[in-house]
Amino acid sequence: MQKTCSFRVNGLVQGVFFRQSTQQQAKLLGVTGWVRNRSDGCVEGQATGDEKMLKTLRAWLNHGPAMATVLKLEWKETELQRFDGFCIRLS
């Protein structure tokens, strides 16, 4: 069953390839959606996939890429949305 979740990651998550690494992880898992930097220094996005793959992505987001320091991950299920692939948004 497909679900959509929104997420927000706080910490040292900009300038450490967090968006690119998230996109890579999502594509490996077959998850669609998007990710972007916010002006407040966090990274946010939405992801659609089956429950198992979303759980795996959530676990990865809790630590991110090697240079990142994740202090807090907010994750919540939202209304189902369909996306074409997983993209990095600029705004």
Active site residues: 19, 37
What gap in Å lies between CA 48 and CA 2, rounded to an integer? Answer: 7
Chain-centre distance of CA 64, in angstroms? 9
